[in-house]
Amino acid sequence: MAKQLELNDVALLGRTLDEYRRIFGLSDEELRGETILDVASGVSSFCAEANEGSGHVTASDRIYALPPAEIEARCLHDLALVMSQMPKVADMYVWDYFPDVAALARHRERAARAFLQDFAIHGASRYVPTEYPETDFADGQFTLALVSHFLFLYEDRLSYEFHRDTVIELLRIDSKEIRIFPLVNLKGERSALLDPLLRDPAFSGCRMMVERVGYEFLRGANEMLRIRVAG
């Protein structure tokens, strides 16, 4: 059996603005000029950091319906769970952005703390409770949707129909582009759901491209899917 992190649910791990820049190839112009939706954003600090720098970012996740104390408890639990498993699976990862497991843990905790502080201040004005694949956002409300470590990665618990319906919903609420990273599952294998999605006639009017990115932590997780909205 292939090694992987053993998780009961989608892990609440904090990622930073710098990681999002690398993961999605985000430029300064995009961060300032696009109206961005962070999809299933969890406890990442991207929304907090980007908005501090004159960005226009909305974060969305089902956990935002919970009180801050419960989110904090869950994210600290998930961080401890993942860090306890990292030594056993360390060879599955590239240790350059993070030099070691201790540095990874510090980085993830800093991101989560920055999120928790911003969430306590801004609440629903920035952090919208959202149960994908359905949303309450308006048609074309955003110009760029970013999906980090959600679709494809958890293919063992999120069905193909869930993936398809989520992308269809993002096409409704996003007027320009969707970017999804990574394209592998928790074992570091190319997701079996990627090719069916690329061939699905529901997306025949879109331009779908797989692109290499300047970030790789889980080995093999170095590509994103870029979906250009028709019209």
CATH code assigned at 92: 3.40.50.150
Q: Which two tokens stand for residue 116?
A: 């928790």
Q: Is residue 3 part of a domain?
A: no
What is the per-residue pLDDT for 48?
A: 97
What percent of the chain is predicted at pLDDT more than 70? 96
Q: 78-89 burial, b for 16+ CB within 10 Å, e for fewer?
A: bbeebbebbeeb
pTM for the whole thing?
A: 0.94
Q: Is residue 37 part of a domain?
A: yes
What is the per-residue pLDDT for 1?
A: 43
Q: How far apart are CA 231 and CA 37, in angstroms?
A: 20
Q: Is residue 208 part of a domain?
A: yes
Q: Is residue 53 part of a domain?
A: yes
Q: Is residue 65 part of a domain?
A: yes
Sheet holding 207-212, edge to edge: 127-129, 56-61, 35-39, 142-148, 174-181, 223-228, 207-212
Q: How confident is the model at residue 53 (pLDDT cuts 50, 70, 90)?
A: confident
Q: Is residue 6 part of a domain?
A: no
Q: Which domain holds residue 174?
A: 17-228
β-pairing, 223-228 with 207-212?
Answer: antiparallel
Q: How far apart are CA 225 and CA 67, in angstroms?
A: 33
Closest CA to 34 of 142, 169, 148, 126: 142
Q: Is residue 21 part of a domain?
A: yes
Collapse the DSSP code of 39 into the 3-class scheme (helix H, G, I; strand E, B; otherwise coil) and give the result: strand
Instruction: Determine the average pLDDT of the residues in 175-194.
Output: 96
Structural domain tally of the chain?
1
Identify the residue whose tokens are 């997780």.
221
The size of the chain, in residues, is 231
Distance of CA 114 to the CA centre of its chain: 17
Instruction: Determine the average pLDDT of the residues in 70-84.
Output: 93
CA dihedral for 208, 210, 211, 214, sign (positive or negative): positive
What is the per-residue pLDDT for 143?
A: 98
Q: Is residue 165 part of a domain?
A: yes
